[in-house]
Amino acid sequence: MATAEQIKSLIRSHFTDHPEQFRTIALQVAAHEAKQGHRSLALEIRTLVDKAGALPARVIPFTPDLEHLVLASAPSERLGMLVQSEEMRARIYRILREYRQKTKLEKHGLTHRRKILLAGPPGTGKTLTAAVLAGELGLPLFTIMMDKIVTKFMGETSAKLRQIFDVIQERRGVFLFDEFDAIGGERGRDDDVGEMRRVLNSFLQFIERDTSDSLVVAATNNPRILDQALFRRFDDVLHYHLPERAEIERLIENRLGSFRQSKMRLERTAKMAESLSHAEIVQACDDAIKETILADRKTVTAKLLVRMLEERRSAYKATIRG
Ligand SMILES: Nc1ncnc2c1ncn2[C@@H]1O[C@H](COP(=O)(O)OP(=O)(O)OP(=O)(O)O)[C@@H](O)[C@H]1O
Ligand SMILES: [Mg+2]
């Protein structure tokens, strides 16, 4: 039987709305039972927990003055949806693992990695990663629209950021500072430079002081803002890259699913997708699926997919030249 302490903790975590804690304790009960030789009960408990997956988070709206600057959602994205190198997936998994077992770490005076910087080219899965972290942990995702804050509240950006960091302290969730470049990147007009520096500095101070339970994630596709001062404030920096051949194949395979023609040779098609981002490849697959559906056909041919990939590639080239 579970110990009295475990039963009390289970009840507590249920009523204080900490689904992740509930899950951890349930797994501890399973481990306890296994130790007592109650293998099948342990397995049953573990299966129940696994089946439940992460519970969708409850999203409470923000106060009116922040509402239009922060998007709240309850993502259902899972780690399996993210196509990345093994190394990258392992690093994302480590964030999840440390979060799930943070009490264990705390007992030894350690904190789980929770301030994460995501850097890399557009369409490689940075925003998706934030959704995966939230989805896997059953936490709400709060996306802070940095560009909006900066353009709307130039001059009071730091004050707005302070308000947001107050919320981070109060509410558990994944807080994504998306398009983080907005405060560090293009330093266009001269009079903006000083202000941007100040904003970046206050952001760094806020993030340094933050001791909340939440995950704080910043995403940027501008490598120019990545300096030492910034790196130091984060527990982890993940660098995203355009997909390599194996990833391209996996992306196409995942996306086409049952629409994939059985004789399609992935290696050959994947070659046509080189230098495209994950997002562009996914879009090309979707375009090919749409064409197939509209033509009342059942499966996507290699020829059609190659055409859609080429279309993406030329759209990209045209943009660069234009
Ligand atoms: N690594 C990936 N694995 C699977 N799908 C991906 C991946 N990266 C991107 N996608 C697909 O492309 C879409 C857009 O990607 P996402 O918004 O995460 O890119 P991003 O890196 O945040 O780009 P940006 O820098 O432009 O914000 C995703 O919703 C997903 O459908
Ligand atoms: Mg993004």
Nearest to 145 by CA among 178, 106, 174, 118: 178
Rounded-to-integer distance, Cα 74 and Cα 70, Å: 13
The mean per-residue pLDDT over the stretch 218-227 comes to 79
List the residue whose alpha carbon is closest to atom 19 of ligand 1. Answer: 123
For the chain, domains (ranges, CATH) are: 4-52 (no CATH), 64-239 (3.40.50.300), 245-321 (1.10.8.60)
Query: If you average pLDDT over every residue of the chain, what do you get?
Result: 86
**pLDDT at residue number 187:** 46
The percent of residues above 70 in pLDDT, for the chain, comes to 90
Please indicate whether residue 278, judged by its CB atom, sits closer than 6 Å to ligand 1.
yes
> How much is the pTM?
0.81
CB of residue 13 inside a 6 A radius of ligand 1: no
Q: Can you tell me the mean pLDDT for 103-125?
A: 94
CA 308 to chain centre: 27
User: Quick one: pLDDT band at residue 61, thresholds 50, 70, 90?
Assistant: low
The string of DSSP codes covering 199-231 is HHHHHHHHHHH---SSEEEEEES-GGG--HHHH
> Of the ligands numbered here, which is closest to the C-alpha atom of 238?
1
Residues 6 or more apart whose CB falls under 8 angstroms from that of 264 comprise: 300, 301, 302, 305
Task: Specify whether the CB–CB gap between 281 and 252 falls below 8 A.
Answer: yes
Which region among 20-34, 243-257, 295-309 has the lowest average model confidence (pLDDT)? 20-34
Which pLDDT score is estimated for 112? 94
Instruction: Give residue 322's pLDDT band: very low, low, confident or very high (50, 70, 90).
Output: very low
